[in-house]
Amino acid sequence: TADMVKISLKSDPSKFCIMPQKYVEQDLERIKNMEIFEDDIWVVTYPKCGTTWTQEMIWMINNNLDYETSSKVQLSDRFPFLEWSGIIKNFTIDTFAECENQSRPRYIKSHLPLFLLPDQLWTVKPKIIYVARNPKDTVVSWFHHHRHLHCYQGTKEDFIEAFVKDLMLYSPMNDHILDFWKIRDESNILFLFFEDMKRNLDQEVKKAMKFLNKNYSQEEVDKLCKHLSFDSIKDNKMINKKEEIRMLKESAGEKFDPNEFSFVRKGQVGGYKKELSAGENEILDDYLKCLKFKDFDFEYKF
Ligand code: A3P
């Protein structure tokens, strides 16, 4: 939309990110200069890569499987979204302050690319969990998100064109992922894939447990995997964002129909096959061919 701007890195203009002007005015500096603590827990992703799902997994593992609190407190309050107030028009809650003022350990979600995140992350080195997802499923999910939550009224093809031209909010996706892939072996980074979580959640839960220095019995892991299953997350009012969406829509004077759109939508790997026309799929194939991810020993999972 018209209020989006391109933020570039002065020392390397090829590094950029598309963000709303409001974010630049409000958050750019204070996020860059934010004080970081060693025990912070960050979940960072490009949007629609399984952020919410991962946040709940990480929060539960690091909180000794506290089902009671998880059933009473919204995930967005337990694990706030750093730059949200700089993204949503007319949003009055200061989510930066919410993140900053949490009791420790703080849980922070962000979709910012590495170069816009706080400088102290790279010196203090708290734990950062990064999640990647293949661009085809991601863009389809991002399209539905924009259509229902950001009043996008264009066609799917136009949306995909804008995505491959790196014009979408938080674009470019590939650089976002590669910047974290390059530092994946650092001891404070856990790099996960949506597709692995979908295909073998037990294994990914155990990876996250190891990363967070937590030990649970197989029975506890099984229970957690059930709690994190698609149907359970979709029905869970503390996680499925229905309440947040209702609040946002109503405060913007828009109609809220709980049956119209579910944030926890399909949750599939390869769901794009049923949703993209041959032409739309081809646009994404051409985009994938031009990306340099293979130079970095990185492959998307399909
Ligand atoms: P789809 O739109 O493809 O269904 P994010 O939280 O980063 O916005 O990601 C949202 C995507 O994660 C949505 O993808 C949503 O359905 C999916 N998701 C959320 N919880 C899930 C789960 N337990 N299992 C599989 N997918 C899940």
Which residue has a Cα nearest atom 27 of ligand 1?
A: 267
pLDDT of residue 292: 79
What is the radius of gyration, based on Cα positions, of the chain?
Answer: 18
**Which residues does the chain have with pLDDT short of 50?**
none
How far the first Cα of the chain sits from its last, in Å, is 30
Which residue has a Cα nearest atom 18 of ligand 1?
A: 267
pLDDT of residue 254: 84
Instruction: List residues near ligand 1 (CB under 6 A).
Output: 45, 47-53, 137, 141, 144, 198, 228-230, 233, 264-267, 271
Question: Domains of the chain by range and CATH?
Answer: 4-296 (3.40.50.300)
Q: Respond yes or no: is residue 111 known to be catalytic.
A: yes
Residues 6+ apart with CB under 8 A from 73: 238
Q: Which two tokens stand for residue 189?
A: 């980074």
Q: Which two tokens stand for residue 109?
A: 């979600």
Which residue has a Cα nearest atom 23 of ligand 1?
A: 230
Q: How far apart are CA 265 and CA 234, in angstroms?
A: 8
**ipTM of the prediction:** 0.99
Pocket residue to mutate for ligand 1, from 138, 141, 170, most atoms within 8 A of Cβ: 141
Q: Which two tokens stand for residue 52?
A: 């919410």
pLDDT of residue 207: 98
Please answer whether residues 122 and 53 qualify as being in contact, where contact means their C-beta atoms are separated by less than 8 angstroms: no
pLDDT of residue 1: 60
Considering the entire predicted model, what is its pTM? Answer: 0.97
